[in-house]
Amino acid sequence: MLKVENLTVNYGYINALNNVNFEVNKGEIITLIGGNGAGKTTTLMSISNLVAKESGRLTFKGADITNLPPHKLVKMGLSHVPEGRKIFPALTVYENLIAGSLGNTDLKKPQINELVQKMYQLFPRLKERCDQGGGTLSGGEQQMLAIARGLMMDPDIIMLDEPSLGLAPIIVEEIFELILKIRDEGKTVLLIEQNASMALSIADRGYVLETGRVVLEGTGKELLNNSDVQKAYLGD
């Protein structure tokens, strides 16, 4: 579904990504893991064209999307939930959700309302807090809101950037269960995580990034049992 070929990104003279290749198939949960500065976030940012690419080719559903601006990507069904949640704190939960649907101009009012109800089903906590300011939610709820907002544009693939960032372990578990649920709804998930054990345990396949290169790839299980991965990321 989404194919990344020879992606290279430079920040000035610093090389952030070097010939990264990976592929996401429909209905999969794919995870990119790696330490700080490995280039995980940069990968997502360059897919949704928020940073400039040096070289490389991106295809999504068979179409070349290498140089498409973000608003066109959204229409094609690619949603990016940025790192650090970035919800709109002064808007209510409901308004945040509506903002998520703005980018996809194909959506009409009844469809948007339907999507809101669907989000409330998927995230019952957001329903309870639908008229509360986004900034007053707890960290976990804010993350749920960010994911729900990303789903509001009715994407085919949703890219999540560190959804577990700064959350208590029990909340992290809840978030990962939600990710599984989202997959079961028929969405494809590209997940970027530092929490490697959790991410690999729910992922169909995974890629390990190190200083801008893909150094390892395999199914979630394979990577979990790989001794290098265990040493570097799982702390065994």
Partner 1 sequence: MKHFIDTIKSTYGKYKVIVWIICSLLLLIFPALIPSNYVMGVVCRILFYATLAGSLNVINGYSGQMCIGHAGFFCIGAYIEAILATQYHINFWVLLLVGGIITAIIGGLIALPTLRMQGIYLSIITLGFSEVVRLIALNWTSVTGGAMGVKGIKSPTLLGFTLSSPKQYYYIFLVIGIVFIFVTNRIINSRTGSAWISIREDELAARSLGIEIKKYKILNFMYGAFWAGVMGAAYAPYTRYIDSTYFSLDEGFNILSMVIIGGQGTLIGPILGAAVVNSLTELLRSFSEWRMVAYAVLIIAMMWLRPQGLVGASDSVLAGDKMKKKKIKVLAKEEK
Binding site for partner 1 (CB under 8 A): 48, 50, 69-75, 80-82, 86-92, 94-95, 98-100, 102-105, 113, 116-117, 120, 130-131, 149-150, 153
162 within 8 A of 31, measured Cβ to Cβ: no
CB of 68 to partner 1, least distance (A): 11
Q: How far is the CB of 220 from partner 1 (least distance, A)?
A: 27
**Residue 132 C-beta: closest distance to partner 1, Å:** 9
State the nearest-atom distance from the C-beta of 98 to partner 1, in Å. 6
> Which residue number, 121 or 225, has a Cβ lying nearer to partner 1?
121
Across the strands, what pairs with 188?
Answer: 157
| Residue 91 DSSP class | S
Q: CA gyration radius for the chain? A: 17
The owner of tokens 């999540």 is: 160
Q: Is 122 exposed, middle or buried (0-12, 13-18, 19+ CB in 10 A)?
A: middle
Q: How many whole angstroms separate alpha carbon 49 and alpha carbon 71?
A: 10
Minimum distance from residue 110 beta carbon to partner 1 (Å): 10
35 vs 88, beta carbon nearer partner 1:
88
CA distance 149 to 82: 11
Nearer to partner 1, 130 or 202 (CB): 130
One-letter amino acid identity for 175? I
Compare residues 86 and 231 and give the one whose CB is closer to partner 1.
86
Residues sharing a CB contact under 8 Å with residue 70, sequence separation 6 or more, in sequence order: 48, 49, 50, 80, 103
DSSP H or E run through 171: helix 169-184
- Measured from the CB atom, the residue of 149 and 183 that comes closer to partner 1 is 149
Q: Using CA atoms, how far apart are residues 185 and 18, in angstroms rounded to an integer?
A: 34
User: Which residue, 31 or 104, has its beta carbon nearer to partner 1?
Assistant: 104
Min dist CB 165 to partner 1, Å, is 15
